[in-house]
Amino acid sequence: MKTLEQALPVTRVSLSRDTVAEDRPHILLVDDEPHVLSALTRVLRRHFRVTSASGGREGLSYMQTETFAAIVSDMRMPEMDGATFLSRAKDLDPQAIRLMLTGEADLGAAASAVNQGEIFRFLRKPCTPDVVEAELNAAVERHRSQSAERVLLEQTLSGSVKVLTDVLALVCPVAFSRAVRVKRTATHLAGRIAGTERWQVELAAMLSQLGAITVSPETLERAYRGEVLDVREEQAMNEMSHVTDQLVANIPRLEPVREILRLVERRADWSEPLRHAPRSESVAAGAKIIRVALAYDVLESAGNSPAACVAVLRGRLGTYDEQVLDALQAVVQPKADEAMVREMPLIEVRVGMIFTRDVQSANGLVLIGRGQEVTPSVMQRIRNYWAHLPLKQPPLMQMQRTA
């Protein structure tokens, strides 16, 4: 979204043919008949950026590197029929709107594509290019509408979660800092695991500790370090997930994130595998990622090196997904060099630094948790409340690396 200053100036520019083409909706045409592809491409390229493929496999290969607003596929093709292709296309890019060209004899077989590929339109052969163009315009409009709704939904949900986590930061810094650490790890993992909805993973990580508001800070710290809890403390930690679930249930359209959190058993020994079959690949992937990120944080909080943490998790055979553990091994780095870590007065910390140990008052109250990044809001709280408090020890800060 442009700022007011960006919107005011009026600049005349000349657009090249390539620039104009880039602004057109990108569509994919798949048909094994060269003359059909040629005719459609010739007409449609006036209003669309067209990529054509002579079969399903070629079409899927294009989808590995490009995104499309709409996909049109013939039904009857050798090697891979249109129903199979569009079903696989949906898995690769659920946002692309899918249309099928089908002949009279293919109607029965094409009906199965409704469930497999969630087809937007069926176009009966023979079909003129003008009809195809009109239906593609409708598909592109649907794509734009869904994309706008998706962005609005993600922004609205992120804003709602931010309000809740900001409250958590004030009420329970220990839990908030853990959520931040888990989110940082989970975000890196989500970037390496196919089929993952990153926004779902990030929101699940930040919301995972909401129920901690009902648990004492002392119990939380012991649980987060993986220490043995007594019966009362164990019960409090078990109730924590129920409180989180109830809070998340009050946020509309957050069902996938809620399901991710339900699939993650937050137990002290992390020995129970996932028990419930998820409804989607993204939820399953998200649950596996959050599960590993939470377990890694417990081990790392107990003082283990990143390599040792990964080794321990791999030793718990069948508990964690091997692909996620491979990704974890690739993303976790050894502790920052000593040259990058400094003790300093709280008033001297700056935005972008990361607290590498808890900031505690003289009586042991945690003010800022380990792993939390210094943001403008944190700086404001430091200036307003904490800068002149007697501390147990100076903050230990990790500075951002410079190129």
- Residue 326's SS3 state is helix
Bridge partner residues of 49 (DSSP): 26
Most confident of 9-13, 236-240, 293-297, 396-400: 293-297
Three-class DSSP labels, 128-163: CHHHHHHHHHHHHHHHHHHHHHHHHHHHHHHHHHHH
What confidence tens digit (pLDDT) does each residue in 270-329 have?
Answer: 444 445 555 578 888 999 999 999 999 999 888 888 989 999 999 988 889 999 999 999
Locate 40 and state its tokens: 């459609």
Parts of the chain belonging to CATH 1.10.3210.10: 172-334
Is residue 9 within 8 A of residue 79, CB to CB? The reply is: no
- Residue 122's SS3 state is strand
Q: Write out the CATH class of domain 338-403.
A: alpha beta
Q: Is the pLDDT of residue 70 over 80?
A: yes
Locate 374 and state its tokens: 């210094």
Q: Which CATH superfamily is domain 172-334 in?
A: Hypothetical protein af1432 (1.10.3210.10)
Q: Catalogue the long-range contacts made by 352-358 (C-beta closer than 8 Å, 24 or more residues apart).
A: 352/400, 353/397, 353/398, 353/399, 353/400, 354/397, 354/398, 355/177, 355/395, 355/396, 355/397, 355/398, 356/396, 356/397, 356/398, 357/395, 357/396, 358/174, 358/177
- pTM, two decimal places: 0.59
DSSP 373: B
Q: Write out the CATH class of domain 15-145.
A: alpha beta
Residue length of the chain? 403
Parts of the chain belonging to CATH 3.40.50.2300: 15-145
- pLDDT-based confidence at residue 363 (cuts at 50, 70, 90): confident
Q: What mean pLDDT is predicted for residues 120-130?
A: 82
Parts of the chain belonging to CATH 3.90.105: 338-403
Radius of gyration of the chain (CA): 26
Where is average pLDDT lowest: 1-10, 78-87, 115-124? 1-10
- pLDDT-based confidence at residue 187 (cuts at 50, 70, 90): very high
> CA nearest 121: which of 113, 68, 129, 91?
113
> CA nearest 196: which of 277, 65, 290?
290
